[in-house]
Chains A and B, each alone.
Chain A
C-alpha cells in the first residue's frame, strides 16, 4: 500500500504544440493511501489515459509517477504491484471459482492456509461462497464479473486496485447491490481504489473523492457534495446534476450586480470580490431556483417555455433574455403555464460566481 503521486502530462503526438495536442494537460495530483477515488468525465476527457498511466500501460510523455515515494514511471504494470478490474470478465473458464480467486495469490507463492483464508473472506464479501467449487464457465455474466472483482481484491499487498467501468455488464437492477458491496469492501480492506467511469451515479456513490475531467484537464477533485454545492469550474456545474447548473451572464459595475437589467443584492459579506469583477457568470442549480412574488427583492422576470411533470418534481424551463433558466420545483407547488411571465429568485447562499469558467468565491 502506498500513496500515489503524479506530476505529468501526456500527448500521443510526438511534438505537441497546442493544448489540443495533449490527451492529458500538465497535472499534479496525489491519491492518498487507502482512499476511494473515481475518475469521471465524458468520452475523450482523458480519464482512461490517466488510468493507463497509473497502471503502467502508458508511459507519460512528460513527468513522473511515484508510488510510495519511489519512482515507477518506467516500470511495467507487472512491476508496479497493482490489481486491475476491466469492463468485461477476465477469468479462467477451466478453473473453479475458488481457483480463479486464488490464482493471483498462488502466483506469488502465498502459503496455502493464508490463500484459503483470504479466498474465503473475499468470496463471502462478494456472495460467491456457495459457488466456490463450481466451474467458472457455467456462470452468468454478472457472477463472472464478480469473480473478476474478487481477483482484483484478493491481494492485500497491492499499491492500488484500478477499476475500468467494472459494472458495465451488470444488470441495472443488480448494480446498486454491487455498488454497496464495493463500498463495504473498501471500508473493510482499506485498499486504494481508483475507479474510471462516465456514469455520475457510479462515481458519486462509490468515491470519497471524485476527479472530474474534461478535455484532458482535471477541473475539480472533491467529494460529491462539494461538486454539487460548489463546482469549481462551470463544466462541473454542467456535468454533475440532471439537469445541470444554470448559468447567467452578470454585469458587476459600480458596486452593483445586474442580471438582464435587474439589480440584485448579494446576501454575503465577502461579495466585494464579485462586485469588482466586471463581467461574471452566475451559476445556480435548478434545485435552488425558487418562484417568488413579482415585488420580491431580486425577482427576475422570465418567460416559461416548458412545464414538465417529472413525477416527483416539476421541471420548469424558461427564458431570461437569451439565457435558459431551469427550475426544479416540488410536486405540491402551483405551477405556471407555458407563455406565462413568472419571477424567479436566483441569489442565495447556493449561488456560485464564475470568471473565465473558474469559481470566484
Chain B
C-alpha cells in the first residue's frame, strides 16, 4: 500500500506537535521513525492510523484521501510499548480474535503458523498474565500480524524488554517485515535499532521531518548537523572550524593538515564551518596521513563488543568507539588518531558540505 502525507500538521491549543510535513512512505517496506522522546513520532503514527485527525493537510492511501476516516474503517494493525492483550482470553484466542472478526477460514492453521513464527506455540492455552514480558509482547505481535493489514504501526515495541530479548526479537522482526506484504512503520529513540532494522529511516526532531531515505544512506550522508546528531550513538563529535589554504584550524590551536587533493575537491565558499568526527573513526594506532589528537581520559564505558572512551582534548570533549574491551585509567593521557578523509563538514547553517565516502558499500556519495 502507498501511504502519503501531504502538508500534514498538528496543533493542540497553542502547542505545535507537528510542523507541515510531506512524506511518501516506501510501499511494502519498513520505515523507521527515529527521534528523541517527544519528537512527534507517536503523533505522526496516530495520524497515519486514523486515531487522530491532522489540523491541516491530507493523508492518502493508494491515492485516495482518507483524512478524517476513523481507524475502525481502515485496515491497520498496531503494537504499543505496553504489552496489550485481552487478559481473559488464552494466547490462542488472542491471536485468533482478528481472524474471527473477519470470519476467516482455517483459523486454527493460521494461528499455529503465527505462534510458531514467534516461538509462542507451547503457550497457546495459557493466559497472557502467565507469560513473561517478552512472551506477552510476542502475543501482541502475533495478533497484529494475524490482521494481515496492509499497514502495520509499531510504537517502540521492544522498549520494555531486557536487552538480550530485544536483540533476538528485533532480528526476528526484521525477517518478518522483509516479506514485503505490508507497509510497516516502527518508532524508536535508538539510532542503533534503526541501523539493525535496516529499511528506510525518517529522522524526526521537535515536530519536523528532517530527512527520509534508505537507512544506511541517511546515516552515512546526513543532510544536516541535526540529522547527524540525532542519528549517531555515541554522538558525532562536532567542532567549530576554520578552513585555511592548507587545512583546518580548530579550538586550542589544533590544526588538521589536509592533502591538496582533499582541498581541491572541496566546494566551500565560507571558510567558517563545523566538522564532524564519528566516534568509530578515531583509533589508537596511526596509519600514514593520520592526524593525532592528544587528550586525557575522562571515562571508558565498556559495552562488551565496544569501549566508548570519553576524552578531554584541546579542541573539546571527544568520544571514541574502540572494538572490544579496553581499560584506561581515569585521567591518563591518550592520543587518538584520525584520517582526515573521514571528516564530515557542515556549513554555518548546518547543511552537509562533505561526507566521507564509504568504501566497501554499494552506494557512492550523493
Using a CB–CB cutoff of 8 Å, the interface residues on chain A facing chain B are 42-43, 176, 179-180, 183-184, 187, 198-201, 204-205, 224-225, 227-229, 238-244, 285-287, 306, 308-315, 317, 328, 331-335
Contact = CB atoms under 8 A, between A and B. Distances in A.
B310 A180 contact: yes
A224 B192 contact: no
B216 interface: yes
B360 A312 contact: no
A351 to B, nearest CB: 15
Given A201-B302, A224-B302, A239-B164, A309 B195 contact: yes
B12 to A, nearest CB: 25
A334 B360 contact: yes
A239 B166 CA distance: 12
Contact of A199 (B163, B175, B219, B330): B163
A74 B262 CA distance: 72
B303 A204 contact: yes
A200 B302 CA distance: 8
A334 B359 CA distance: 8
Contact of A200 (B171, B304, B330): B304
Given A176-B299, A201-B302, A204-B304, 12 more contacts: A180-B330, A204-B325, A224-B325, A239-B164, A244-B167, A309-B216, A309-B220, A309-B361, A331-B280, A331-B358, A331-B361, A335-B360
Interface in B279-334: 279-280, 298-305, 308, 310, 321, 323-325, 327, 330
Nearest to B299: A180
A309 B360 CA distance: 10
A183 B362 CA distance: 43
Contact of A176 (B163, B165, B232, B301): B301
Contact of B304 (A187, A228, A314, A331): A228
A200 B303 contact: yes
21 contacts: A42-B162, A42-B164, A43-B162, A176-B299, A180-B310, A200-B304, A201-B302, A204-B304, A224-B302, A224-B327, A227-B304, A238-B164, A241-B304, A241-B305, A244-B164, A286-B305, A308-B196, A310-B192, A311-B220, A331-B359, A334-B360
A244 B171 CA distance: 13
B360 A287 contact: no
B334 to A, nearest CB: 15
A311 B164 contact: no
B300 A205 contact: yes
B325 A308 contact: no
A45 to B, nearest CB: 10
A335 B361 contact: yes
**Centre residue among B167, B300, B305 by max chain A CB count within 10 A:** B305
B198 interface: yes
A178 to B, nearest CB: 10
Given A198-B162, A311-B280, A332-B359, A224 B301 contact: no
A67 to B, nearest CB: 29
B35 to A, nearest CB: 14
B278 interface: yes
**Centre residue among A179, A201, A242 by max chain B CB count within 10 A:** A242
Contacts of B87: none
Contacts of A312: 278-280, 321
Given A201-B302, A228-B304, A242 B361 contact: no
Contacts of A43: 162
B195 A308 contact: yes
B271 interface: no
A45 B99 CA distance: 38
A335 B305 CA distance: 20
A310 B196 contact: yes
Nearest to B175: A306
B70 interface: no
Contacts of B321: 312
A286 B323 CA distance: 11
Interface in B184-202: 191-192, 195-196, 198
**Centre residue among A227, A242, A311 by max chain B CB count within 10 A:** A311
Interface in B94-109: none
B201 to A, nearest CB: 12
A287 B325 contact: no
A310 B323 CA distance: 14
Nearest to A305: B175
A43 B162 CA distance: 8
A332 B360 contact: yes
A308 B300 CA distance: 27
